[in-house]
Amino acid sequence: MNIERLIAKFGLKRISYEPSKGDKGLIAKQLLKATMIEANEIMKTWRGTYPDKALCIITIVEVIQPLGQICPECNGSGKVRSKCNHLVKCPCCDDGRILWTQETRFAYFCLTLRITYSRFRRYMPVIKVLVDWLSDKRNAAALALINR
């Protein structure tokens, strides 16, 4: 799926969907910027610093892949070869996908920003609100496309 179509699914008002001059990264930056504005709005009463970029990245990834990440051990097939060369169910995933849990969110979050798990748990309510907000925007855009 190309990035323009992916961004168009979210239906955010702050993003222009006009084709850019060959820079597809511009639209993804606009989605990140719109999500960051919403994260700052949610966290405006928080004191101190917070990793708004990392929060936005994990939110976008979770909304884009709602069924979870593709398992790296079985490459999404859900089956691996045993020592006897028999196909067996992959012990790491559920039908080729690693579902989103607090631990998997933390692992993905640490790819962007390495923090302790106890500090990450403070951000979980914000991540859930952002995921719901972005999912609602995506669903509203999809319904608008269906009605056309």
- 134 close to 35: Cβ distance less than 8 angstroms: yes
> Which residue pairs, CB below 8 angstroms and at least 24 apart, start in 70-78?
70/96, 70/97, 70/98, 71/96, 71/97, 71/98
Q: What is the pLDDT of residue 105?
A: 92
Q: What is the pLDDT of residue 86?
A: 92
- Tell me how far apart the 2 most distant CA atoms of the chain are, in Å: 58
Q: Is the pLDDT of residue 3 over 70?
A: no
pLDDT digits (tens, 9 = 90+) for 93-103: 888 899 999 99
Average pLDDT over residues 71-88: 90
23: number of Cβ within 10 Å: 10
Q: What is the pLDDT of residue 19?
A: 53
Sign of CA dihedral 102, 107, 110, 112: negative
pLDDT digits (tens, 9 = 90+) for 9-59: 666 555 555 555 555 556 688 888 889 999 999 998 888 788 888 999 999
Distance (Å, whole) CA 124 – CA 135: 16
pLDDT digits (tens, 9 = 90+) for 101-148: 999 999 999 988 999 999 999 999 999 999 999 999 888 888 887 887
